[in-house]
Each structure stands twice: as structure tokens, then as C-alpha cells.
A and B are shown apart, each in its own frame.
Chain A
Amino acid sequence: MAMSSASMLHRENDTAATLQHRSGAVSVSARNWGWRHADRAHAALSGLDLEIRAGERVLLAGPSGAGKSTLLYALAGVLDEDDETYSSGELLLDGAPATQGRGLVGLMQQDPETQVVQARVGDDVAFGAENLSIPPAQIQRRIIEALDAVGLDVPLDHPTSALSGGQKQRLALAGILAMGPGLVLLDEPTANLDPDGVLEVRDAVLAALDSTGATLLIVEHRLEAWAQHMDRVIVLEPGGGIAHDGTPGELFAPGPVRGKLIAAGVWVPGYTPAFDPLPPPEQPGALLLEATDLAVTRKRGARPAASGLALRLGAGEAWCVRGANGSGKSTFALTLGGLLPPGSGTVLATGELAAGAEARPYHWRATELVGRIGSVFQEPEHQFVTNTVAEELAYGPRHAVKPGTREPLFTEQEISSRVESLLSRLRLGHLAEANPFTLSGGEKRRLSVATVLAAGPQVLILDEPTFGQDANTWRELALLLREELARGTAIIAVTHDADFARALGAHEFVLASPATADGTAPTDARPGLLEADVRGGTSFLGRANPLAKLAAVALATIPLVASMDWVSSGIVVAATILALPLAGLSIPRFLARGWPLLLAALFGAWGTALVGNDSGAVLLDLGLFTITQGSLAAGAATGMRAFAVAIPAVLVLFTTDPTDLANALAQKARLPHRFVLGALAGMRLLGLLIEEWTTLGMARRARGVGSRGSAAARLRANLGQVFGLLVQAIRRASRLAVTMEAKGFGTAERTWLRASSYGRRDAGIVAAGLLLGVAATWAALALGTWNLVWS
């Protein structure tokens, strides 16, 4: 890695506003334009006629399925045309087809995780500018200006994985600004953020537009924060053209248009679905669950996310859990839900809820849990475990058991009547045979709540149930939960949505803000799984070119592959151990990372000693197998060789940052950069997927999928979880690809902010590798142990 980005990227004396697009703001026009996606039967948009002047700020609204995102993607030039897509009419940017608008347009999507391409802040801002082949010196200036413009004050080598959601969105915006676009497209940029994050991102967007003058087109569900800052609102008609077009004042003023928008589920400013206050319960409900002096944490032994928590939850009560980012709200909810063990303190179910099972929910089997406490996760897809909507609803009740037994809780008849009633209550009847993953966002949300309700839990816990939902889904959710409250179900909702809490008549449970100096959420700034260790990165080898290290290891490995003898292997092992200080490694730190390799070598040695050709004295007789002097020697050689093959690579992995490896592969080894950088972006998603694996495990337990039990049950549960993870991985990758393409990625030429260098140090490393290989071969030949494996 080596280069210190901060010292390299000092501000230069240049007063030109480099962020401004050279041709200024861009105009948009659509003429009878339409588009049908390859995997859909109906057109997303058709017959669209639209003129947007350069510099206008336009809010794009409409019910879900009206093609808002499709229009943004088409303008960003990221809709792929192939044999199965259909388009009609024209879509123009400044009079030229939108497909040729590379560099004119910047696009930001909803999911903060897939808006980031690179591992470090500075590199990520530079990514789009590099793709546009802007000279590195100019990119350096733009990085500073763009981060300034969005108010993101972090070091350039700060890991992007340690940013909060709102910070990631501002980083994405900085990357867009660094490209100098004349049109900025935002697709629900704040749907996944809490209210503070929404304002943070909105203010950054408005400030950036003030300084660049670019045209803005934004799609949002929640219009409140944005409407007053827009010049114009355009409402799209599902499957057709424009329903309404006017200033925010005209469209949102009381009148028939406002009424129509509300009916279509649009969150017009100043509107919330109204509910009568719930009647106070005639008598306080029985106590169900009690948390006492509770500290919550996701990792055993880690600092608790929140502590000193106490809650008494009674039947028919609603609680809304609030608090800043990082205050441990979700962790608290997971602990109450029996999905995480308490860090300290207790969560105990009363006799009323436990009904014969033991009192600690975390110790219940998944099948005991589903009938008592239901947890609804923020991402509905995490909880889908079957192939059809009807099966999905039947899954919980079918697997629920009576406490402490394996007897089913419901009869077959009860199950089908529960499924039928939920299908009609949630208007999902026509989708009974559909695959849950293929539903719309609102349908998925309703289904995920219904699947958890299906097993009839007395306690329902929901994490941000209203994020990204339109007003109609919001209203239906509130109605459903009010019905549950009336039946005596207790509800805990982690939500920032004060209106939603009011609709449920919820008590407030406020978690204290995490105490940090700068007021931001404390984040784990440790490097990702594949990133070089901090100490390794600054060592002698850490500053070398990754290709030189790989070449040296390969050269030293050749004699090991060729010969099975303990001399050449021993020499390579010894040389590697002597080289540990060059990688900034001590023996204990090396063992901490390399012990599985040692173990594998021992296994190999043991196997050979058992089955190898017996000769010499018998040392151990195990009946079928014997260990003899001859087989033991062969085993030692096998083990030493396996160890020698494995450990030099540890020097490389401990000191090599994947970003530097990718830069070297693309710049020095001349591999196609599209594939190298694509693979690098895939690696960055890895840390995210590992987190998602843990979340999936909990989400599936909340559905009654047991990960405790027989080996076969575990295998089945694990395979299901792998599949769930693969679905999420591919969805994330698709969105990341859109981000990369919108940032101009994929063309033949690009510039590189970080030049990969190859110097004398690197030549020396390759020479050392060669020398080691030759020395090992020579020593083995000289001592007569050379034993060519092919002979």
C-alpha cells in the first residue's frame, strides 16, 4: 500500500471550479419514450413526453411500479439493451441520446452499501473520475473539493466500511461530484436512513447543487424534506406517461390532485394516515416478558452496545424503541427476541409466555420460539425460507411445537385456516403461488409481518417496519398491528417514525446516545477480512509491489512442487521464518494467523504415516494400519513439504492490500482492468456478506428454522442459509454494478490515481525468491535427499 494519500493529495493553487461540468447543466427531453425490462411482461414506461430545462430541480413521484427508477437508470445510461428488452421513442440529454451521456450524468441509489466501490474514502471519490480518464493531478484536487462540498471530514485513507449510512451516501455524492456531471440523478437516496441521516444527505445535495448548478432529478417516497427545495414535481402514471406536472405549491395544495396522490400512496408533505387513538385497555395485560439490568452486545465479550436496560412488557402493550444510530436499538430488539444472548443481566419470559418452557428465550429451540416471540427483520428477504407465498405463511405454524415437546402446536386444519385468513387480511390471496422474492417492496413487507404472525406469537418485535414504504403499505401495517394489539399481542417496534408510534399508541423507550467525542456513531474501524494488517502494510514487504512478492514466492515454491524431501522444504520454512520481521510479524502473530496451515500439515503427515509404504521397525500398530519408521519418515517429508508450500504465502497475504494487488495486476501485469477491478469490488462486498450471514442466521431462527439439532438438520439449515446469502449477494452485486457503470466504469481506457510502481526493492525481492529456490534445490541434491515426484 505504502503511499500516504493525505500527503499526496494536498490542495494545489488552482482557483478554477474543477467540479463544474465544462458544458454546464444538462437538459433532458423524452419523446414518446418507453421501456420494457427483459424479465417483465409489461412496459415499465410508455409514451413519455417530457422536457426538463438545464438547472431545474425536479422531484419525480408516483405510485410504486410507475417506472420512476427505470427513467433514472435510462438517463444514467445503465439500462442494458439486449434481445429481450424493448424500447421506443427517444430519450435525449442536451439533444444527444442518453446512452451516449457518459460523464454527463451521476446516479445515486438507495442502498448505501452498494454506492461504495473502493475500500478507502479517497480512492472511492476518485473512482468515477479515473474512469473518465481525468489526469491524476486534477483528480486529486477534485477529491478535496468534492469531500468539502458534501461536508465529509474524514482522512482520505479512512476505510469506507467504517462510515455510517448517511456518510456513505455523502461519499457517493462526492464521487459523483468529482466526475463533474451536468445532471444528478438520485433514486430514493435517503429511504434507508434515519431522520438525521435524511437531513444530512439532503443538505449535502442542496449545497452541492448550489455550487455546481447541475440539473437535479430525484425520486423519493417521503417528500416532506425535499418538496420545498424543488422547482417542479412530476408525477408518473403506472405503465403510462405523466399524470401531473407542476410546482410543489400547485400539486400539494389541498384539492383534487392532492387527494389523488394520497390515494396512490404518495407521501405528500403534511399528510399522515389518520387513526383514532386506541381505547385504553380495560385492565392492564398480564406481564409477558421482563428485561432486568440488561446489557446487549452482538459479540460475546465485546463492549456492550447499551446497558442498564429495564423493560416490563405486558399483553396488549406497544413500545417504540428510539435512539441515535449506534445506540444499540436493533441489538436490544434481537436480545429481547431470543436471538442474541444477553451480555449481562436477564431477559425472562413469565409463566404466561413460557407456558412450561424454561424462562430464557435465547435457550428455546427455534420451533419453540416461533409460537411465542416473533421477530420481523428490516429486510424482508432475510426471512423468506420457502418457494411460495402460501408455503411461507404455513411454515411457522407447521414447525411450531408445544414447549419442551416435539408435538405440533397446530393441527393441519388450523394451519390452513390461519394461512387462508392471513392471505385475505393482507390482500395477498392472488399471490399465493408466487415466489416471495418476486413480490414488490410493499408486498414483501406485508408478507414478512404475516409470516411471523402466522404462528401466533404473543410478543411481536419489529425492526424499522416502515422504512421505504409508501403511505398505503404504511397504513395497512398500522391497521394490522392495531388489530394484534386489540387481541392482546404485545408489540415492540424499533422505529424513528413518530407517526407510526402514535398510530400504535406506543410507549417510548429511548436508548441513550453512544458517548463519543465527535458525536458520530462509534464504528469499528478495523480493516476488512481481506485487507492487509496495519503493521504488515507499513513493513518492508508491505511497501513492495505485490507482483514481486508473488513472483518470489512462486520461484521458491517450484522445488517444493518438484521434490518430496525434507531438506528443500526445511530450507524454505527456515527462510520464511527468518523473513517474518520484514513483514512486521513476530512468531506469535504469525502463529495466530498461520495455525490452520500447521494443523493441515500435521494432518497430511499423519495420513501418510498411516498409509505410506511400511518399512523398518513397527512403531505403532492400529490393526488395519501400522506406523513404521519408513512411513513415519515419509509422513514427516509430506508434512514439511505441505507446510513449506503454505507458509511463504502468509508473508504475501499479511502485507498485501487487495487494492494494491489489483492496481499492480492491471497496470503492471496488464490484465484487463474491467475484470481486475470487478473482482476487487466483489471482494469489498465480502465483509458485508459475512455480517449478513450472521443476520440471516438470526432471521431464520425467528422463522423457526433450527440451527441446533442433528447433523442432518444443521446441514439442511446451513444449505438454506447459503442459498439465502447467495440471493442477497447477487442482488447486492447487481446494484453495485449499476453504481460502477454509472460512474463510467467499463471502457477501454482509464487513469489511475495510485500508480503501481516497480523499483529496486521489488527486483531484490524477486532475486531473493529465485536464490531461495536454487539454494533449496542445490542443498537437497548435495545431501542426496532430492526426490523428484515425477520419477
Chain B
Amino acid sequence: MGITHQPAGHKTATTSWRVVDIVIAAVIAVSSGVIFWAWNSTHHLLDVLFLAFPPSAALVSGMWLFPAVLGALIIRKPGAALFCELVAAMVSALMGSEFGLTVLASGLIQGLGAEVVFAAFRYRTFNLPVALLAGAGAGLFGSVNDTFIFRWFPEYTTGMLLAYIAFMTISGIVIAGLLSFLGTRALAKTGALGALASRKAATEPILG
């Protein structure tokens, strides 16, 4: 008895979120929120490494940016970067954050930095360059927010502020961009992403 293979769906599943997209995005975000919380209470231990030039502490700030890129690479829907970063921030605030509620505003702005990059590629390209750009976007938006909007470092000179922006952008590229890209490919190899649009991430061309 033959089976007639025909595309089943008329739903165009490219932009609308399904329940599985929402729940997996939420779990990624919530897990990231816990990592934020742990990172919030431990990253000061690294401060000693950056004493020579305090703005260089931004080199590890990518730890606060990865959910935006990781979420978008895995879920591949409009708003995924924003949603994951915002929910992660919300969870870390609920668990007690040294940044209080301002962390929500930071999350929104950092998420937006990654989101605009994915939007610029119309949510169709999720290769390495786009991931790195998104990491850079999150780092750039986040650092401009820290230095010129929230003004967390009133003691810095303009040169130090600009250095901070450069360092955080680099951190975004490496920690949020590169690690998220590699992580997504490794996850796809385990079959865990079978229900998602990123299920073939491991076999897609890295640059194409």
C-alpha cells in the first residue's frame, strides 16, 4: 500500500509562534535568568583581573547577553531575542538582583540590540556572521545603555566610556554570538531541537 507524500500543512510556520516555541523559549530564558543570578553574585570575584583598567570588566559582560542570541538562533521567530533576554532579566530580578528593576530596562535594550540584527536579515538567516552581528548588537546597545543612559560609571572619562563600549561589544560577539552559535549546533546534533525550526542547524552551512 503506497503512501502519497504531500506537504501536509497550509500553515506558514515561518513567523507565527507555536506553543512549543513559546515554552522552549521560556525555558531557555528562565535557565539563563538563573545563570544571570549566579553570575551577578560571582562576577565580582573577577574584578581583580580588571583592576588595571576597570572598563575592561566589560569583556565578560557577554554573559548577560547570550540569551538573546541563543534564543533567537534556536527559536527563529520574530521577537525571540527580545523575549528571551527580557524573561531572563525578569527571572534574575525575581530572584534578587543587584540591579533591581533597572535590569528589566537593560534586558529590553540588550534584547533589542540582537533583535534588530535578526530583523534586518528578515528572520531567514541564522548563520555564523548573523549570530556574531547579533551578539555585537546586543553588546553595543547594552553598553551604550550602561554608559550614557543609566550612567552606571560617572567616574569614568569619555575615553574610558568608549573603551567600555568597545569591550562589551567584543564580549557580545564572542560570548553571546560565537558560543550561542556553537551551542545551537551542538544541541541540534542531539535531536533535542526536533520540534523547532532550527532542527537542522548542525548541517546548515556556517557562512551560507
**Cβ of A39 and Cβ of B194 under 8 Å apart?**
yes
Query: Is B154 an interface position by the 8 A CB rule?
Result: yes
* Contact assessment for A87 and B8 in the assembled complex, using a CB-CB cutoff below 8 Å: yes
User: Which of B86-94, B113-121, B164-172 is the interface stretch?
Assistant: B86-94
Count of interface residues, chain A, beta-carbon cutoff 8 Å: 94
Check B151 for interface membership: any CB of A closer than 8 A.
Answer: yes
Verify A85–B102 contact, CB threshold 8 A. no
Q: Given A80-B18, A80-B20, A682-B29, verify A607-B101 contact (CB < 8 Å).
A: no
Interface of A is mostly: helix
B9 touches A435 (CB 8 A): no
Closest Cβ of chain B to A515, distance in Å, is 35
**B5's contact among A88, A612, A685, A745, by CB below 8 Å, is which?**
A88
For the complex, is A16 an interface residue (Cβ under 8 Å from B)? no
The answer to whether B20 and A438 have CB atoms under 8 Å apart is no
A85 to B91, CA, bound (A): 35
CB-CB under 8 A from A594, the residues of chain B are 96
Contacts of B199 on A, CB cut-off 8 Å?
A: 38-39
Contacts of B193 in A (CB 8 A): 730
Contacts of B187 in A (CB 8 A): 723, 726-727, 730
Give bound CA distance, A611 to B154, whole Å.
Answer: 11
- Contact indicator A741/B100 (Cβ below 8 Å): no
Residue A761 CB within 8 A of the other chain: no
- Whether A437 contacts B192 by the Cβ 8 Å rule is yes
Assess whether A437 is in contact with B190, with CB atoms less than 8 Å apart. yes
Question: Given A678-B26, A741-B19, A746-B19 in contact, is the A729-B31 Cβ separation under 8 Å?
Answer: yes
- CB within 8 Å of B: which A557-604 residues: 557, 561, 564, 593-594, 596-597, 599-601, 603
A736 vs B30: C-alpha distance when bound (angstroms)? 15
Known pairs A86-B7, A658-B94, A734-B24; A435 contacts B191 (CB<8 A): yes
Closest to B23 in A: A737
From B20, B24, B83, B91, A675 is in contact (CB under 8 Å) with B83
Interface: A312 (CB within 8 A): no
Complexed CA–CA distance, A335 and B54 (Å): 46
Q: How far is the CB of B113 from chain A (nearest CB, A)?
A: 19
Report the separation of the CA atoms of residues A602 and B28 in the bound assembly, to the nearest whole angstrom. Answer: 31
**B58-93 interface mask toward A, CB cutoff 8 Å, 1 = contact, 0 = none?**
000000000000000010000000010001001101
Query: Is A206 close to B, CB under 8 A?
Result: no
A413 to B18, CA, bound (A): 51
One of A61-69, A342-350, A483-491, A648-656 at the interface: A648-656
Cβ A554 vs Cβ B22 within 8 A: no
Q: A435-B189, A557-B100 are in contact. Are A88 and B6 (CB under 8 A)?
A: yes
Interface residues of A in 518-567 (CB under 8 A from B): 529-530, 550, 553-554, 557, 561, 564
| Interface contact B9-A726, CB-CB below 8 Å | no
The interface centre, meaning the residue of A437, A731, A738 with most chain B CB atoms within 10 A of its CB, is A731
Which chain A residues border B11 with CB–CB below 8 Å?
A: 81-82
Task: Name the residue of chain A whose CB is nearest to the CB of B30.
Answer: A682
Against A, the Cβ 8 Å flags (1 = close, 0 = not) of B8-49 are 110101000111101111111111001100001100100100
Cβ of A561 and Cβ of B96 under 8 Å apart?
no
Q: A38-B194, A722-B35 are in contact. List 15 more A-B contacts (CB 8 A).
A: A39-B199, A47-B1, A80-B195, A553-B100, A597-B98, A600-B44, A634-B154, A682-B25, A723-B186, A726-B183, A727-B187, A729-B27, A733-B23, A737-B22, A737-B195
List 4 A-B pairs, minimum CB-CB distance, nearest first: A682-B26, A81-B9, A789-B151, A678-B22
Chain B residues in contact with chain A, CB under 8 A? 1-9, 11, 13, 17-20, 22-31, 34-35, 40-41, 44, 47, 51-52, 54, 74, 83, 87, 90-91, 93-102, 148, 150-151, 154-155, 183, 186-187, 189-195, 199-200
